[in-house]
Amino acid sequence: MLIVKHILTVFFLYFSLTVTAQTPDGRIAIIPEPVSIIPAEGYFTLPSQTVIKTDANAESMEVAAYLKNKLKVTGQPVTISNTASHSAIQLVLLDKEDTELNKEGYRLQVIPGKVTIQANKPAGLFYGVQTLLQLFPKEIESKDEILNIKWQAPCVSITDYPRFEWRGLMFDVARHFFTKEEVKQYIDQMVRYKFNILHLHLTDDEGWRIEIKSYPKLTQVGAWSVKKVGYFGNFTPPAPDEPRTYGGYYTQEDIKELVRYAKERFVNILPEIDVPGHSLAAIASYPELSCTPGADQYKVRSGEKIMDWSHGAPPIALLDNTLCPANEKVYEFLDKVVSEVARLFPFEYIHMGGDECPKNFWEQNDAVKAFAAANNLKNMEEVQGYFEKRLEKIVTSKGKKFMGWDEILEGGLAPGAAVMSWRGMKGGTEAAKMKHEVVMTPTTFAYLDYMQGDPAIEPRIYATLRLSKAYQFEPLPDSVDALYIKGGQGNLWTEQVYNMRHAEYMTWPRAFAISESLWTPRGRKNWDYFFSRVEKHFARFDEAEVKYAPSAYDPIIATSVTPGKQLQIYLSTEVSGLDIYYSFDNSFPDKFYPKYTAALIAPEDAVMLKMITYRGNKPVGRMISYSIKEQQEKLALLKQPKKTP
């Protein structure tokens, strides 16, 4: 105890004498930005033999082991001790609760000879470790041992805790399957940025990804499709006998392993079983779950068109991908599925989907119509409402809380339902006002499947969400009691994401922005300062070999039409301080080309505008080829060929 007091005195003296500046301090680039940073002069240097001292409880020991593992890159010996009288790094669980820190907060103090992390709970120690790692040189993220580096961290005193308790990322492993190892990789990446919930979208039209022992065909049949590439959604339908070898699933042992892996990193996994829509994989496995004749011919979707979205949501289904709400067998099925899911995932919530359920087959179906009449349900929204309420009872009966997408509001919300608001903030706001728990994941700020820049360079999706827009995500609407807004998450849908490298590209850096919206006090957010830190984390990801999108460096392209029917092109950048160089002659511009200063008029026969951004003498953006012809066609500006007399 005396030693602890002595150390605290040293900290106090040190910080009162050497505090120099408030952030931003060029040596420090933490994402998400902590609550309070007080930098000091000097550095802590990792000694040639490091002792990490920690309490003996299992979770603190796990945090110490995590840190030790990360320090392997230094090639220097690191030991963990519960008793050492001298240690370079000390993880301290506080005997007396520090109420400012709550369950996930920490205090990190770095002085020349010592690093101390204090927290009420092991989760706080873990987040303190994440911050400490971000203070070390970027090479700490390398996969190979790095020798001949001074492993230093700037002296600083940090107090930190999250703004929201729900800080999630959703990974859609149904549209394209991602292996257990890839999911672990995703977890490893997200915990660096203090996310604590991984929402796994486990079932959809394209695949059922979790072994359910009472329904083995869900994975024997439901996990497999025909591999296709291109623009998902419009693929040629596979031939009936085409081999179905593409996909995969997690066994229950795999799930247990993932849950354990996540828990060791203070992440809860939220399982989602998406019903009653998005259920083609289940129906292909057990056609009796559908009430549409001919469903026994249905196959797991391989990306062919199955919905008509031209009338908006809900879509018109071209085949019936819904579970039958009028069939008792469906509720038996769901009871058994939820039972198994509830046993596998310790997290208190189960997400049961509920989104985008087409109603056109139900409207035509005699059994559903009779069911609606018998239960006094006025329309098909109320039929879904009935379904959701029964489902909520099933989920609750397994000791879990029921969560669904905001469509579950439409037929009347079940009493204990939690709402994940994706179609903007409206559904979540409404639910919170009705005193329901809410997680905000609005498309406008949090959809990680959207393009991050112009379609001239990004893989085409129907919508765009730039980094700067994601950074504006504010999960708490002004009119709502904060008590009901648990937090938010970014959602990575994977229709157009075929592999892990691209999953990373779509997630980062937008998930940096989302992490900061969920963790950092609102008043401490600042776009320019954020982006300066993002750039330093790009360098860390280069070390870690994690892919990220450099799209924020690329120009934003906008057009208009002059009174003379010429195409006018406006360029700008999300990031300040960049110059844009361009060409209309199809050659590759560099800094010796014209610099963009004002709106451009495309010369008469130009077909392509090429452009690239620079910071000073250094190219930072990618070479973009923008089709003038395509845009002119879109705006109906192309001259009609003269008719021959």
User: C-beta of 247: minimal distance to ligand ACM in Å?
Assistant: 20
Beta bridge partners of residue 421, listed in sequence order: 440
Shortest reach from residue 354's CB to ligand ACM, in Å: 9
- Closest CB 165 distance from ligand ACM, rounded Å: 22
Given the complex with ligand ACM, which of 358 and 555 has the nearer CB atom? 358
Would you say 50 or 494 has its CB closer to ligand ACM? 494
Tell me whether residue 290 or residue 494 sits nearer to ligand ACM (CB atom): 494
Instruction: Characterize the bridge pairing of strands 114-119 and 106-111.
Output: antiparallel
250 part of the interface to ligand ACM, by CB under 6 A: no
Interface with ligand ACM, residue 356, by CB under 6 A: yes
Closest CA to 175 of 353, 300, 267: 300
Alpha carbon of 461 to those of 200, 441, 634, 639: distances in Å? Answer: 22, 18, 17, 29
Cα distance between residue 625 and residue 586, in whole Å: 8
Length of the chain: 645
Cβ at position 422, least distance to ligand ACM in Å: 4
DSSP state of 235: B
Is there binding between residue 422 and ligand ACM (CB under 6 A)? yes
In whole angstroms, what is the distance from residue 419 CA to residue 405 CA?
6
Distance CA 503, CA 522 (A): 28
Residues 6+ apart with CB under 8 A from 373: none
Cα–Cα distance, 187 to 169 (Å, whole number): 9
Whichever of 196 and 489 has its CB closer to ligand ACM, that residue is 489
Token couple for 567: 């195409």
Sign of the C-alpha dihedral, residues 78, 79, 80, 86?
A: negative
- By the 8 A CB rule, do 98 and 80 touch? no
Nearest Cα to Cα of residue 508 among 530, 469, 472, 537: 537
Smallest gap, in angstroms, from Cβ of residue 620 to ligand ACM? Answer: 33
Binding mask 96-125 for ligand ACM (x = CB under 6 A): ------------------------------
Nearer residue to ligand ACM within complex by CB, 160 or 406? 406
CB of 121 to ligand ACM, least distance (A): 32
Q: How far is the CB of 28 from ligand ACM (least distance, A)?
A: 37
CB of 1 vs ligand ACM, minimal distance in Å: 53
Residue 108 and residue 157 in contact, taking contact as beta carbons nearer than 8 Å: yes
In the bound state with ligand ACM, the residue whose beta carbon lies nearer, of 381 and 579, is 381
**Nearest C-alpha neighbor of 467 from the set 501, 507, 496:** 507
For ligand ACM, the closer of residues 33 and 410 by Cβ is 410
Q: Which residue is nearest to ligand ACM (CB)?
A: 355
Q: Put residue 247 in one of left, alpha, beta given phi > 0 → left and psi -120 to 50 → alpha.
A: left
Minimum gap (Å) between residue 297 Cβ and ligand ACM:
26
| Choice between 215 and 422, CB closer to ligand ACM | 422
In the complex, the smallest distance separating the C-beta of residue 292 from ligand ACM, rounded to whole angstroms, is: 22
Residues 377-416 that bind ligand ACM (CB under 6 A): 405
Rg (CA), the chain: 27
Closest CA to 30 of 158, 125, 162: 158
Is the CB of 355 or the CB of 542 nearer to ligand ACM?
Answer: 355
Q: How far is the CB of 442 from ligand ACM (least distance, A)?
A: 10
Between 39 and 314, CB nearer to ligand ACM: 314
Give the ranges where 212-306 is alpha helix by DSSP (H). Answer: 217-220, 252-264, 280-285
How far is the C-alpha of 340 from the C-alpha of 342, rounded, in Å?
A: 5
Please identify, using beta-carbon distances, which residue of 164 and 405 lies nearer to ligand ACM. 405
Q: What is the DSSP string of 350-381?
A: EEEE--S---HHHHH-HHHHHHHHHTT--SHH
Smallest separation, CB 542 to ligand ACM (Å):
32
- Asked if 553 touches ligand ACM (CB under 6 A), the answer is no
Nearer to ligand ACM, 269 or 403 (CB): 403
Minimum gap (Å) between residue 419 Cβ and ligand ACM: 12
59 binds ligand ACM (CB under 6 A): no
Residue 313 token pair = 């949501």
- Would the CA dihedral through 284, 286, 291, 296 be positive or negative? positive
Residue from 165, 257, 355, 430 touching ligand ACM (CB under 6 A): that is 355
Q: Which is nearer to ligand ACM, 91 or 273 (CB)?
A: 273
Q: Are 356 and 400 in contact (CB under 8 A)?
A: no
619 within 8 A of 612, measured Cβ to Cβ: yes
The 10 Å Cβ neighbour count of residue 242 is: 13
Tokens representing residue 475 in the block: 């999960």
Residues touching ligand ACM, count (CB under 6 A): 4
The residues of the shown chain that bind ligand ACM, judged by CB under 6 A, are 355-356, 405, 422
